[in-house]
Chains A and B, each alone.
Chain A
Amino acid sequence: MAKLILSLEGSVIREVPLDKERITIGRKPQNDIQIENLAVSGEHARVMTILNDSFLEDLGSTNGTLVNGNPVKKYILQNNDVIEIGKYKLKYIAAAPAAQTAARTPAEDMDKTMILRAPAGARTPAAPAGPAAAAAPAAAAGAPPKPAAAPSLAAIRILNGPSAGRDLELTKNLTTLGKPGVQVAVITRRPQGYFIAHVEGKQFPVVNGKTLDVQAHPLNDHDVIELAGVKMGFFLKTK
C-alpha cells in the first residue's frame, strides 16, 4: 500500500497509509492529516488514491502546495515525491510492486534486467518457471522493500582535549572521524540505527572500553568512543 511520511525539519512525525480513496490534509481537526500550523489552510489539499495511483490536489490553499519544490494544483504522485505544505514535508512512497503481484512471472518484474527485444521464448521459460516463481515471491512477498527511513538524529560530542564540548551532528549517511593516515573510523546511519566501523590505522576504535574488531558495531545512546586519543560520546537526539 502506498503511504505518506509526514516530517518536520528532517524528523519523521508519522506515516500515513493511503488506505482510502480520499485523504485530506489541513489545519482543521476533521482532516485525515491535521497539521496545526498557521501557514496551513483549514482545508489545504487532498490525495485521491485509485488502484495504484495517487493524485494530489491543492484545495485553493492560501500558501500553496509544492511537489519537489514546484508549486502544483493537480499532480500525479510518483514514488519518492516530496510534498511541501508550510514547513511540513510529506514523502510519497508508492506501493511496493513486489507486494501486490506476488504471483507474476519473472519476465514482468520491473527491477530485473531484461533485454528490450527478447525472443518470445524468454518470456515464458517453459518448465523451469514453476520453481522460480515459487522461490522468488517467497522472499519478495514477506518483506516488501522498505525505503530507508532514517533513524532519529544523533550527534557526537568530544569529551576531552582542546575541542572538548564540541558537537558534531551526524547528518550524513556516512561520517568519518579521526586523522587520515593515523586512525579513521566511520559512523554509518542505517534504517536500523547507527554503526561504527574501522577504516584505517593500526589501532581499532574502542567503544565503552572494548576494542572493536573488523565488524561494524552498533552504537547505543551514551556510548563512549575512543579514537586516536580522543574520547567522544554518542548521543541520540530525542524528537
Chain B
Amino acid sequence: MVNLSSILEIATATHPGMVRSHNEDSIAADAEMGLAVLADGMGGYNAGEVASGIAVELILTEMKKALAGKAPDELNGKEMERLLSEHAAKANGTIYQAAQSQPQYSGMGTTLVIALWHDNRLSVGHIGDSRLYRLRGDALEQITRDHSLLQEQIDSGMISKEQARYAPNKNLVTRAVGIDPEVEAEVHTYAVQPGDIYLLCSDGLPDMVTDEEIELTLSSLKANLPLAAEQLVQQANDNGGRDNISVILVRVLKDFPARSGWLKKLKSWF
C-alpha cells in the first residue's frame, strides 16, 4: 500500500448549524490511505446520524482492508473506481438492511461523497447532493454534479443557476444510499496537480455560502487549511446555518506517482 501521509494535508470541520439540534453529517479522512469520506444523513429522530455514520465507518474500514491487500501496481484508476463503486454498494446494502429490520430506522438514508487519491490522480464517487470542489490556482470548480431535483431542473433548462439559489425544494435528492436495495455511485477519475485544494462538503455549506465566497475564502486562507475549514463553517452559520455543515479540505503538497522513484529515473535515462 502506498502511504500518502507526506503528500496530503487534511483539515476538517463539522457543525450542527444554527437551527438543528442534531448533526446528521459524518466525516472521515485518512491521509495515509489518501481517502476522504463525507455523508449527510436523513431520516427521523437520530436515524440520519446512524445512516451517515454506518456509511463513513464502513467505507473507511473496508477500504483500508482492500487497499492493504493490494500491490501498488494493481491499484490503477479502473481498480480504484471499482473499489469506490463496490464500497458505496456495500454501504447501501448495510443501511438498507438496518432500515428494513429495525422500525426506528425505517426510511433512513444518506448522501455520500468519497475521494481517493492515487498515482497523481483522484477518483471520486458520489450519491446525492454532497459535493466535491477543487481550488486550482485561485479558481474554484465544482467537480461533482448533484443528484437532486434542482440539478435536474437546471439541466433541463427549467430554471437558471441564479434562480436555483432561492428555489424551494432545494433539499430533495434523487439518489441516496440506503433507500433502495441497490444504488449506483457516479464515479470519475481526474488528474491532480500539486497545490490543488479539494473541498468535500455537505449541502449546508453551498446552500448558505455562494461559490464566489467559498472561492475567496479558500484562496485567501489557503496557507492555513484548518482556519479555512473553520471559516467556511462560520460563514455558513453567519448566513443562517439552516442545515448541518461539514467540510473536508485536502491539499496536495507534491507529486505522487505510483511507480517508485528510482524506476522512473532509470526510465528517463533511456
Chain A residues packing against B (C-beta within 8 Å): 78-80, 98, 106-107, 109-119, 121-123, 125-129, 131-132, 135-136, 138-140, 143, 145-148, 172-176, 180, 184, 186, 188, 190-191, 197-200
Contact = CB atoms under 8 A, between A and B. Distances in A.
Nearest 6 pairs between A and B by C-beta?
Answer: A125-B44, A122-B107, A145-B240, A128-B45, A200-B223, A121-B106
Nearest to A195: B234
Given A113-B111, A148-B238, A136 B20 contact: yes
The SS class assigned to the B binding surface is: loop
Given A125-B44, A132-B44, A132-B45, A114 B19 contact: no
Contacts of A191: 238
By size class, the interface of chain B is 35 or more
B235 interface: yes
Interface stretch (B54-62, B137-145, B164-172): B164-172
B172 A139 contact: no
B19 A111 contact: yes
A118 B166 contact: no
Contacts of A146: 240
Given A125-B44, A174-B231, A190-B238, 5 more contacts: A98-B19, A114-B171, A140-B20, A174-B220, A176-B220
A64 to B, nearest CB: 21
Contact of A173 (B46, B109, B235, B243): B235
B206 to A, nearest CB: 12
Contact of B44 (A106, A117, A175): A106
20 contacts: A98-B19, A111-B242, A111-B243, A113-B171, A114-B171, A119-B107, A123-B107, A128-B44, A128-B45, A128-B47, A129-B45, A136-B20, A136-B21, A138-B21, A143-B18, A145-B239, A145-B241, A146-B240, A173-B213, A173-B217
Given A80-B166, A106-B44, A111-B19, A174 B217 contact: yes
B140 to A, nearest CB: 14
Nearest to A135: B21
B149 A114 contact: no
A186 B220 contact: yes
